Each structure stands twice: as structure tokens, then as C-alpha cells.
Chain A
């Protein structure tokens, strides 16, 4: 679905944020992009929808060469790419429904947008995704009245209502508590599976990434230094990505967490009731 080849980005100040990055993401695959701060994770996903202009290289979404598009062509391509942000990036003073419908603005004219007269088909889509993320009770609440987890669900709904081919997810859980983080990650992974969406998820929390994604790409100083399944991410790989540190506990806890997670899911499913939340051994 997404093919990146030889992508480089050099900022005006001269530092190279991305250096010859090549990777492909097939439909339905969720990729976790990990790496230290400043490694270029955010730059990479912003190059895909050209919020950041790449310096060289090629990005293809399906048959479309993204890097050559301009104006209307770029807007059409962006309609196919949903983006989810760390701090939710909602318009706080607008309602949940308005924030979700802003995902359809690429398809409606200015006056319809200005007067909030969206086509019925778009409103149906918005209700459907709000139902999916579990916010049907909050349709007309203002975004600033919601909790962090609920806001991120609005962010996810806004991306989904675009009916995109790919999700670009930038630190979706960095502002959330551990339990909500898991719920949000689970929701993202589930909707990608349901809709056969490709997704790139920037994430700092290695254990959380291992728990949910099918493939992990490690970025260091703008270069891909690891690309493989979560199980292959061992202490050596983490040292390559992040540098020297005692990684043994991170990995082991990650596996413990995964076991806890699976067990907790079972319990919830069995009891269909509020049970003791899964214990988080230690915030990483």
C-alpha cells in the first residue's frame, strides 16, 4: 500500500532528519516506529502526507507518487491518509461531531463547511465511526469537555471518517495513562484489521509497541536500524536503536505485560463486567 524509497529530509539548519529511508507497508499491517527523540519518527510520517516536504526520495501510496503532487492533487491524496496526533489536535471549541466531520472537509464545498450543512452520507459515516469508537453519547459535547482517552477517540474517528487507505499515527498514547494507552492502541489495531488499513504508529513505549503491532521499525539518527517482528526485538536490537542501557528488564516486562494483557482480555470477555484492571508492573 505504502512504498517509501530512498527518502531523505534535511532541515534548513542543516541537520539530516531522515537519511535514505526505504520501507514498504502492505494493506492491513500495523507498523510500530520506535527510536529515540529526534531520530526522525515524526518527520517520517509527516513526509508521507507532506506536512513536511521531503528533500529527496519517493513515496508511493498505491499508484500515486506523493512527492510529485501539488495543490489539488496533494489534497486528494491527503484525503486517503488519516492522521492521529499525540495531543489529539482537536478544535477544542467545536463539538465532537464537528471535529469528526472535519475529516470530510476535503469532500465538501466551502459554504457547506461554513454553515455546517454536510451531506447526509457524511453524517451517516460520522455516526458510524462514532459508534465504532464508543462516543455516540457525546456527539454534541464540546471537545474540551472530554477526557484524554475520549479526545483521542475523537481523533481516531476523525481519521476513520476520511475512509483512508493508511493511518499515520504520531505518539497516540504519550499523553494518556497506561490503561487508556492500551485501550487506544487496541482500538487502533482493531480498526486497522477491520478495514484492512496500513498504519505507521510512532511510539515511545517499546513494551506497548511489542504488545500490539505486527512489525517494528527502529529508527536512529534518521536511518532504519531495525525492521522485524516484535519478538525479534532483543536487547541487542534495543542497544542499536537507543544506545547502551540495561534493556533486559524492558524486554522481560514487555513479555509479562503481554501475558497480563491477554489474561485481562480473557477476564473481561468472560465476566462482561468491570473487573480488577490489569496490573501494570511499572511505568516504563
Chain B
């Protein structure tokens, strides 16, 4: 015979902040700040309604994209953008892999780790546009500045994510291969790279995609590519040409998304 429970015992998940007064103060403070912050952005309904009309004109321009008027410019911009994308991705990956390995805590001595992490931090803290402005000032207008910008940005992105993936690998096979008397470079080639290969491939394809989209953005500040063409079209109020360019960009990004999905599935 089982004895009846004396009393139903209550249970609630423990709150994130144990002190109830502190909990209420934090919530109330956050709500108050949100209200005050909204007050400072000067929501202007008149400007929004004016902008609405301009926006509609912009969108209506897009309903009839014009590929032919600026076709030569568009073609040249696209070729520049694509070559900028491919070269910067390849160069970026080539530099990122060693830096990513160096930034993995479980593989290298502390000074190397700190150096590689510092390189990544510098690359990540500078947004593409800012780097592009700097590089256009340094090497002049054109796709070379864009190539340098995107290579630089790729390093921060790919090295960081690769390093984190390397830190998560299964250490057992690495220990086993080390125990056979394998020198460090071969240990990386046999024990580490195969474990991160699918992720590296996926990240590289994703970065190719990002670099193409970014090539359109850095073009606006003078670093060549389709962005320069797009900027010119918008400056001249040629929304139909701008629409044509945007449609091409979207089509290429979607195509690359589809292809990278295929490749990743095949390389599991």
C-alpha cells in the first residue's frame, strides 16, 4: 500500500535573477529606457507619408525593368563584380585556413593563438564599407580596391568560424595520430582537416555568396563592380535600369544558393 502524499509540493523553474526587487527594477528600468529612447527619435509622420509617394515611384520603376539601355555598363559591372568575388574568395580562403588553424586554442601555443585572434579581431571590427573607403583612398577607384576589401573581410569571417569549428573537433583521433609519432603539419592534414572539411566547404560557399552581395555594396563607394553601375543608375533616377541590376543580383545570389546546397549535400 502506498501512503498518500502529505501535500502537493509546488515547483517553479528558478528565476534568472533571484532577488525579486532587483528583478522588478531591471524590467522597469528597461521599459522606461525604451519609452525615453522612442521619444528621442522624433517620429515624423509627415516625412513618412512624403517618402511613401517617392517609394511608390521607385517601386513602379521596378515593375518595368530595363535591361537594354545600360546593358554594356551592366555587363561590365557584372563581370567586374564576379571576378572580384571569385578572386577575393579564393585569396581570402587561402589566407583564412592557416589563420583559422592558428586561432584554434587546442592546436597551437598561446602566442600564436593570440596573434591569430588579433588578426581576426581587426578584420572583423572594420565593416566592409569602411575598409573599402580606406582602400579606395589608398589604391584608387576600381575593382582592385574591391578585391582587397573583400579578401580582408573574408579573413575575419572564415578564420573565426573555422577556428571555432576546429576547437570543437573530436580530440581522440588527433591524440591517436599524434601517438604514432606524426609531425604537426601531417597531424593537421590527417587528424584535423578531414574533420572540418564539410564545414569549411559550406562556409566557403556561403562566403562566395556574401562576397558577391558585398561587391555590389562596396561599388557604391568607388570600389568597382556592379555597385558602381547601380549607384550611377540611381543617381540618374533611372529606376528601370536599377531594377534590372537588382533583379540580376537577386538571380545570381539565388542561383549560387541553390548550387551551394547541391554541393554541400554531395560532400557530406
Chain B residues with Cβ under 8 A from A75's Cβ?
181-183
Interface centre among A77, A85, A93, A104 (most CB of B within 10 A): A93
User: Is A102 touching B190 in the complex (CB atoms < 8 A)?
Assistant: yes
Contact assessment for A98 and B190 in the assembled complex, using a CB-CB cutoff below 8 Å? yes
Question: B176 near A106 (CB under 8 angstroms)?
Answer: no
Chain B residues 177 to 221 lying within 8 A of chain A, measured CB to CB, are: 177-183, 185-187, 189-191, 194-195, 197-198
Does any Cβ of A come within 8 Å of B56's Cβ?
A: no
A150 part of interface (Cβ distance < 8 Å): no
Check B172 against A89 for contact (C-beta < 8 Å): yes
Give Cα A49 to B198, complex, Å: 32
A residues less than 8 Å from B194 (CB atoms): 91, 93-94
Shortest CB–CB separation between residue B32 and chain A, in angstroms? Answer: 48
Interface flags for A3-42 (1: CB within 8 Å of B; 0: not) read 0000000000000000000000000000000000000000
Judging by beta carbons under 8 Å apart, are B186 and A108 in contact? yes
Q: Is B261 an interface residue (CB 8 A)?
A: no
Contact B189 A78 (CB under 8 A): no
* Interface residue? B55 (CB, 8 A): no
Query: Are A89 and B173 in touch, CB under 8 angstroms?
Result: yes
Residue of A nearest to B187 (CB): A105
Flag if A102 contacts B180 (CB, 8 Å): yes
Tell whether, in the assembled complex, residue A79 and residue B186 are in contact, meaning their CB atoms are under 8 Å apart. no
Assess whether B182 is in contact with A105, with CB atoms less than 8 Å apart. yes
Binary contact track A163-189/B, C-beta < 8 Å → 1, others 0: 000001000000000000000000000
Instruction: Check A227 for interface membership: any CB of B closer than 8 A.
Output: no
Q: Which residues on B sit within 8 Å (CB–CB) of A90?
A: 173, 176
| Chain B residues within an 8 Å CB radius of A91 | 173, 177, 190-191, 194-195
**Shortest distance between the CB of A161 and any CB in chain B (Å):** 9
Q: Tell me if A114 and B189 are in contact (CB < 8 A).
A: yes
Give B149-165 interface residues, CB cut-off 8 Å to A: none
Query: A74-93: contact bitstring with B at CB < 8 Å (1 yes, 0 no)?
Result: 11111111110101011111
Given A89-B175, A114-B189, answer yes or no on A105-B180 (Cβ-Cβ < 8 Å): yes
Q: Give Cα distance in the complex from A88 to B54, angstroms.
A: 67
Q: Could you tell me the distance in whole angstroms from the C-beta of B243 to the nearest C-beta in chain A?
A: 45
Contact for B175 among A51, A93, A155, CB less than 8 A: A51
What is the bound-complex CA distance between A106 and B173, given in angstroms?
Answer: 15
| Residues A49 and B179 in contact in the complex (CB < 8 Å), given A87-B172, A89-B172, A89-B173 | yes
Q: What separation, in Å, do the CA atoms of A220 and B74 have in the docked complex?
A: 78
Report the minimum CB–CB distance from A112 to chain B (whole Å): 9
Shortest Cβ distance from A115 into chain B, in angstroms?
9
Complex A-B: 11 CB contacts under 8 Å: A75-B182, A78-B180, A83-B176, A85-B172, A89-B172, A90-B176, A91-B194, A104-B180, A106-B182, A106-B183, A158-B180
